[in-house]
A and B are shown apart, each in its own frame.
Chain A
Amino acid sequence: MFTDVRVYPERTVFASIKGDIDHHTAKSIRTQIDRTINDSDPKLLIMDFSEVTFMDSSGIGLVMGRYKLMTERGGEVIISEPAGYIKKVFQLSGIDKLTKIVSDPTGYIKEDVDTINEEEQTNEAKAY
C-alpha cells in the first residue's frame, strides 16, 4: 500500500491514497503525507480518495489529524472524489462541514508545464 504524494506549484500537495484505509494502513499513509507537508510547507492539501477501496473510522482520524496539522500551519484541506460509501462515513463524522468535498480536483491544481516537460525528458533519458 503506498500513497502517491506530489507537490504542485503554488504550494499545493496532492496525496493520492490507494487501497484500504484502516487502523493497520493509516499509520504509513499518515507518515507519507506528513513528510511532504513538513518538507514543502503547502497551503493546500488535497487528499484524493478516488483509489480508496475501503475506509472505516480510522480514515476519519486520518483526515481530522491532517486537518488539524494544516489549520495550525494556516493551510487548508480538500477531500477529493470519495466513493458513496466513503462519503457516508465522512458525513457521519461531520468532517464534511470542516473541509470541502469535491468531485473534480483539477481546478485546484496549477500544472507547471516546464517542470512536467523536464520530468518527461529525464524519463526518456532513463529509457536508453
Chain B
Amino acid sequence: MKRKPINKMKMIFPTYSENERFSRSAVSSFISQLDPLLDEISDIKTAVSEGVTNAIVHAYPDSIGEVTIEVKIYTDRTVYIKIKDKGCGIEDVKKAMEPLFTSSPDEERAGLGFAVMQSFMDKVTVRSRPAKGTAVTLIKTLREKEQ
C-alpha cells in the first residue's frame, strides 16, 4: 500500500486459544474509529478469528508460539490487517485455500477458514514458507457513511 495510513497498531500474543476472542475484539475496537456498520464489524471479526485460529491450531501444532497482528487504516476507509506466525508454514497454499480442504478432519474442522476470509473480506493474500511461517493479509474497504 503506497499511501500513508491515518492510524495503525501492532500486537503480539502467544498462541493460547483464549486469545482468539481477545484478538478479534481488539481489532474490532481499533477499527471502530472508522465508525463501521455492524455487518462490517462482524465480517472483520470473523475473518480475523479464522486467521488467528489457524495460527493457533495449525502453525504450532505441539507448542506455543507467537502471533503478530498489524492493523492499518486509510482515509478511503480501507482496513488492512496482517496476521503473521513463525510456525510450520504451508506446503501448498493453493490447495490449503480450497474450500473444504483441512489437514485435521478428525478435530471437526470444516476446512472453511480461508473460504470465510475470502467471502467476508475484499482481498485475502497468503504468503507462506514451510518451516518459516505464514502471513495472511486481509483487506476490506468500508462503505462510505451516509451524511
Q: Are the CB atoms of A23 and B110 closer together than 8 Å?
A: no
Distance in Å: Cβ of A18 to nearest Cβ of chain B: 14
Chain A 14-32 interface residues, beta-carbon cutoff 8 Å to B: 20, 22-24, 26, 30
B57 within 8 A of A: yes
Total count of chain A residues near the partner, CB < 8 A: 21
* Pairwise interchain contact B46-A85, C-beta atoms closer than 8 A: yes
Q: A54 near B45 (CB under 8 angstroms)? A: yes
A57-B50 contact, Cβ under 8 Å, with A24-B18, A92-B116? yes
Query: Number of B interface residues, CB 8 Å?
Result: 24
Within 8 A of B (CB), among A78-128: 84-85, 89, 92-93
Q: Name the one of A22, A84, A89, A92 contacting B21, with C-beta atoms under 8 angstroms.
A: A22
Q: In the complex, which residues of chain B have a beta carbon less than 8 angstroms from the beta carbon of A85?
A: 39, 42-43, 46
> Does A62 sit at the interface, judged by CB under 8 A?
yes
B108 within 8 A of A: yes
Q: Which residues of B contact A60 (CB under 8 A)?
A: 110, 112
Bound complex: CA A85 to CA B113 (Å):
15
Would A93 and B112 count as touching, CB distance under 8 A? yes
Interface contact B115-A92, CB-CB below 8 Å: yes
> Do A56 and B116 have beta carbons less than 8 Å apart?
yes
B20's partner among A24, A30, A64 (CB-CB below 8 A) is A24
A62: chain B residues at CB < 8 Å are: 108
Residues of B within 8 A of A30 (CB): 108
CB closest chain-B residue, reference A54: B45
State the B residues within 8 Å of A (CB).
17-18, 20-21, 24, 39, 42-43, 45-46, 49-50, 53, 56-57, 107-110, 112-113, 115-116, 119
A residues sitting closer than 8 Å to B (CB atoms) are: 20, 22-24, 26, 30, 54-58, 60-62, 64-65, 84-85, 89, 92-93
